[in-house]
């Protein structure tokens, strides 16, 4: 696969990563990146799923944060649906498109409750050589450093009992 194809895939990842980080800034706090390796899609495409995990939101702040995030996304053409999430820790989510994915495979979803938040964005399928992108560990080289957690950010570190 030609290098130009990887350039397109890298550009898409860079743009989505930048948007993920800007969306995290709307919420604030410390976030952990847990993005996937490049995945094959279409006949010769690549995509990533950008996963970020961050702080919870209080009921008092939640509507304002969701409004701010929805406004940010709407400026990009992503008119998100807001809905309640259920389960042991109910909360709220924003999702574009409201269900499923676009034809390209793209979607963005933010979920939050009092205990934590998650942001997930699947990049659109873009021409690229998945094997080469993963050999380069492209996405791993371009994310924020995770918080200093012994045994996670520094595999040689050990926790004291």
DSSP per-residue codes, 101-138: --TTS-EEEEEE-SS-EEEEEEPPPEE--HHHHHHHTH
pLDDT at 4 over 80: no
Is residue 41 within a helix (H) or strand (E), and if so which, with residue range? Answer: strand 39-41
Residue 36 CA: distances (Å) to CA of 82, 89, 98: 26, 26, 23
Helices 59-75 and 3-27 sit at what angle, rounded to 10 degrees?
A: 150
Sign of CA dihedral 23, 67, 53, 124: negative
Q: What are phi and psi of 66, to 5 degrees?
A: -65, -40
**Least trusted range by pLDDT, from 28-32, 90-94, 95-99, 138-142:** 138-142
Quickly count: other Cβ atoms within 10 Å of residue 124's Cβ: 17
Pairing of strands 49-54, 32-33: antiparallel
pLDDT at 142: 53
pLDDT at 47: 96
Note whether 110 and 117 are within 8 A (CB). Answer: yes
pTM over 0.85: no
pLDDT digits (tens, 9 = 90+) for 9-60: 999 999 999 999 999 999 999 999 999 999 999 999 999 999 999 999 998 9
């Amino acid at each position: 696969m030609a290098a130009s194809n990887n350039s397109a895939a890298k550009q898409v990842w860079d743009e989505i990563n930048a948007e993920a980080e800007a969306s995290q800034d709307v919420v604030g706090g410390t976030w952990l990146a847990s993005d996937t390796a490049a995945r094959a899609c279409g006949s010769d495409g690549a995509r990533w799923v950008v996963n970020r995990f961050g702080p919870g939101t209080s009921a008092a702040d939640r509507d304002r944060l969701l409004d701010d995030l929805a406004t940010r996304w709407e400026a990009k053409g992503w008119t998100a649906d807001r809905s309640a999430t259920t389960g042991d820790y109910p909360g709220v989510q924003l999702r574009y498109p409201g269900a499923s994915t676009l034809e390209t495979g793209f979607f963005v979803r933010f979920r939050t409750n009092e205990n934590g938040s998650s942001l997930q964005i699947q990049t659109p399928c873009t021409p690229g050589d998945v094997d080469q992108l993963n050999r380069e560990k492209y996405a791993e080289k371009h994310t924020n450093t995770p918080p200093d957690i012994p045994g996670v950010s520094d595999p040689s570190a050990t926790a004291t009992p």
